[in-house]
Structure 1
Amino acid sequence: MASLHSTHGTTHKPESITLSELRSEFSHHDPTIARLNNGSFGCCPSSIISAQQRYQLLFLRQPDYFYYNTLKPSILKSRRIIQELINADHVDEVSIVDNVTTAAAIVLQHYTWSFFSSSFQPGDAAIILHHSYSAVKKAVQAYISRAGGHVIEVPIPFPVKSDDEIILEFQNALQMAKLNGRKIRLALIDHITSMPSVIIPVKELVKMCREEGVDRIFVDGAQAIGHVEIDVKDIGADFYTSNLHKWLFCPPSAAFLYCKMSDELSNMHHLVISHEYGNGLAMESGWVGTRDYSAQLVLPEVMEFVRRFEGGIEGIMSRNHEKVMEMADMLSEAWGTELGAPSEMCSSMVMVGMPACLGIKSGEDALKLRTHLRECFGVEVHMYYRAPIEREVDPVTGYARISHQVYNTVEDYHRFRDAVNKLVKDGLTCSLLPN
């Protein structure tokens, strides 16, 4: 990952953040909740919220001046920071959008027109992972399936032991897709799946797609920036997107869409057509009408914040991974269960098996347990249901997705451990929980 020290014209090293300052930065978090679910909505420090409010007040104070003199150069500054973070060649390859769902819709809409214009034939395929994020899968259905495209889902094993298992399943799916002479027009690959959470070997899958003649490759890195290293040139995909508000401390909502420089980029457009139409996707994305753009403007302040931690964002990512693995091992040992993936396939989120005696037998059970933990024990954690495989004996079908971010403490995980231990001791099962 590129160095951040020259990202926005500053060379000084800010003072290291103290423990009391760190607590103050997240003092707006509900103190009664052990927050182990950073992956869903992320977090935003108080200093970044203050920076956002300054931008909001600047706009409200004199909207015309802000629009003509502040907004465009500020968005460009944020785009340049993202360009450096992801190692893109050109700033024009980087657009800022609301979220990954928006980015996916921009790419998928572009390919829908290829079916309508007869560049693609009915039955041409798009390939996605079975564990792709639900909203993105529905977008694929809405854009590709309705246009006559064929959608192929790659089954991903879980629990998973190695990258090789995923690579083999993906290779098999590509071969099956081509049996009838079908052309694969788009591959949509997650960098980190959301549920269950696993780091996908994207570089290897992208290389495989190139070798098998897949037209275009789109990597959904919704959870990635600030979470794992991103080098778009090394990954080699045509499109890459990630949310800035998940693990990079921005307020919601802000994300980027990287589009590799090509003639095709000039034909891509934002979903909302406004005054910048025809001036390139980055410019179109920078103005979609009157709205609050402040979450997209605070990247310089975010970079100052992360530089206060030893090693900057790289140090934060490394420590988050170490801590979450330590806590995951502690929980699995306490409950006599296993993790859903080895350490090298985990980031700052880990899937921890839940005690089988809790009776998690459906997605509804997982949601009921999650709600019960929140309302009765003050623990916020994502739950996943895995259907048992045939002939499994006493299978672990429930997994908790725990995360670690800079605000978390050991006590958060101890509270979760003790809550589950109490449920087991009391003989509570999901069938006894209210809907």
Structure 2
Amino acid sequence: MDQEEPRNGDSTHNHHGLLHVSKKPKLALPISEPEIRDEFSHHQTGVARINNGSFGSCPKSVLAAQRKWQLKFLEQPDDFYFNTLRNGILKSRTVIKGLINADDVDEISLVDNATTAAAIVLQQIGRGFAERKFNQNDTVVMLHCAFQAVKKSIQAYVTRAGGSVVEVQLPFPLASEEEIIREFKEGLAKGKENGKRIRLAIIDHITSMPCVVIPVRKLVKICREEGVDQVFVDAAHAIGSVKIDVKEIGADFYVSNLHKWFFCPPAVAFLYCRNSKFSPDMHHPVVSHEFGKGLPVESAWIGTRDYSSQLVVPSVLEFVNRFEGGIEGIMKRNHEQVLKMGRMLAESWGTNLGSPSEMCAGMVMVGLPSRLKIMSEEDALKLRGHLRVYFGVEVPIHYLAPKEDDEGGARDKDGIISGYARISHQVYNTSEDYEKFRIAVLHLVEEKKICKLLSTE
């Protein structure tokens, strides 16, 4: 394809200041509570949505911007393809570059989600085994609670090509980050046994279930000291939830979903690939005619599809800058509020939080009363469905299998706590959402309901 054709997100020019978009909040009146309610008025009424972590949320003004992009394509697809798409995606990537402190916009690619990014990284590792650049049984090290799609991608691309996997157990409940660091070091030692090399370490920035903010910068530093080839940070929940500085973190690859905590419509994520010797071998899993022109260009055109979620990032920045303190202010308030609500619930139920406050962001794990008898993953799903259907509460439930010695777990007055709720806080949430959840759980306990017998219909 000729370079002068302005399409497909190629950023070989115009990215040294010409497309700069400020991430600083504008000096204007902060958004009001009624305006926030209006921005999320499309949410189903009567439902306590305290699960922003799973699918995120998108305000009305951003949805309107998305619709404009969709119509612009439909009005004249050829003109949009040749004259609009490339520059629009470049503007979005430029916003992300500033938000995460990357050196170059060419280190930023936009993809569908963190699952796609994991496939990109793991296919590159798989090719290393398939092409015999790596020894058989060289390892990938990861946390045991990594997202299932990542584990499946390792099966699909790495282990079938001859690699092996070491899973590091994440202690939970947690008292300090030192527990994670200790377990991680043991996992690296296991990965290097018998002369094996660790070809990739996968580190979550914020784990999903149970949710914990991981000391990612420290773990990356340990990886460097231990000679790990490459480090991939799976930060699906990070942007809009915690501060991100990719240069400070120091990983080779870093992905975060923009539709979880950064208000984009689904589905869009950024993948940061640090400029290195590995860069030329990074390819989008869907091969289109841009193959070989670099991952940012490959990712910006994977055939005819709806690219509008990738194009609204500047509109999202305008939305978050309506809040006092911009995205930093939102993150701070979400953190403070979710801790306040989590402590309220734990006190009411006589339980505990799953980790210290500094290891939480916009989500926190709250112990559920042991009298509910959450004894399996199936019980956890039943409780979640029952809360949705009968109480209008949407919240994920985590089953914590008891340890063999029954030590180390938290207890309430009736026994070992084996279930935790993962509550989220986003700008649309109110204290009534959490009060609704509190009362629902107390009602189940008072009625002596146990999860095994709950109905979800």
> Could you state the TM-score of these two structures normalised by the residue count of structure 2?
0.92
8 A Cα contact 1:8 1:77, kept in partner: no
Partner residue, 1:250: 264
Match for residue 415 of structure 1 among 423, 436, 449 = 436
Match for residue 229 of structure 1 among 243, 268, 271 = 243
Match for residue 17 of structure 1 among 23, 31, 55 = 31
1:96 lines up with 2:110 in the alignment: yes
Match for residue 419 of structure 2 among 388, 391, 398 = 398
Partner residue, 1:39: 53
Partner residue, 1:131: 145
Identity %: 60
How many matched pairs?
Answer: 430
Report the alpha carbon displacement of residue 9 of structure 1 after superposing the two structures with TM: 9.7
Bigger shift: residues 134-143 or 323-332: 134-143
Match for residue 201 of structure 2 among 177, 183, 187 = 187
Report the alpha carbon displacement of residue 8 of structure 1 after superposing the two structures with TM: 5.2
Distance change >3 Å, CA 50–CA 121, structure 1 → 2: same
8 A Cα contact 1:55 1:294, kept in partner: yes
Match for residue 179 of structure 2 among 134, 158, 165 = 165
CA offsets per residue over residues 205-232 of structure 1, 9 Å max, x none? 1011101100000000000000000100
Q: Counterpart amino acid of 2:362? A: S
> Aligned to 1:364, what secondary structure does the other structure show?
helix
Distance change >3 Å, CA 345–CA 58, structure 1 → 2: same
Partner residue, 1:69: 83
1:306 lines up with 2:306 in the alignment: no
Partner residue, 1:431: 452
Q: Which runs of 5+ in 2 are unaligned?
A: 1-19
* In 1, Cα distance between equivalents of 2:389 and 2:24: 45
* In 2, Cα distance between equivalents of 1:205 and 1:36: 30
> Aligned to 1:245, what secondary structure does the other structure show?
coil
Bigger shift: residues 306-315 or 133-142: 133-142
* In 1, Cα distance between equivalents of 2:164 and 2:129: 11
8 A Cα contact 1:14 1:304, kept in partner: no
Partner residue, 2:331: 317
Distance change >3 Å, CA 68–CA 15, structure 1 → 2: farther
Partner residue, 2:5: none
Match for residue 141 of structure 1 among 144, 147, 155 = 155
* In 2, Cα distance between equivalents of 1:288 and 1:10: 33
Distance change >3 Å, CA 401–CA 10, structure 1 → 2: closer
8 A Cα contact 1:374 1:380, kept in partner: yes
Partner residue, 2:9: none
CA offsets per residue over residues 385-427 of structure 1, 9 Å max, x none? 0001234372100000000000000000000000001001101
Partner residue, 1:115: 129
* In 2, Cα distance between equivalents of 1:399 and 1:362: 12
* In 1, Cα distance between equivalents of 2:83 and 2:268: 21
* In 2, Cα distance between equivalents of 1:228 and 1:165: 21
Matches within 5 A, 1:327-342: 327-342=341-356
8 A Cα contact 1:56 1:292, kept in partner: yes
* In 1, Cα distance between equivalents of 2:145 and 2:376: 16
8 A Cα contact 1:126 1:186, kept in partner: yes
8 A Cα contact 1:356 1:397, kept in partner: yes
* In 1, Cα distance between equivalents of 2:351 and 2:155: 36
Match for residue 295 of structure 1 among 309, 313, 333 = 309
Distance change >3 Å, CA 256–CA 155, structure 1 → 2: same
* In 2, Cα distance between equivalents of 1:238 and 1:129: 18
> Aligned to 2:194, what secondary structure does the other structure show?
coil
* In 2, Cα distance between equivalents of 1:11 and 1:187: 36
8 A Cα contact 1:8 1:300, kept in partner: no
* In 2, Cα distance between equivalents of 1:134 and 1:123: 22
> Aligned to 1:263, what secondary structure does the other structure show?
coil
Distance change >3 Å, CA 334–CA 12, structure 1 → 2: closer
- Superposition RMSD in Å: 1.3
1:210 lines up with 2:224 in the alignment: yes
* In 1, Cα distance between equivalents of 2:420 and 2:23: 45
Q: Counterpart amino acid of 2:401? A: A
Q: Counterpart amino acid of 1:310? A: E
Partner residue, 2:17: none
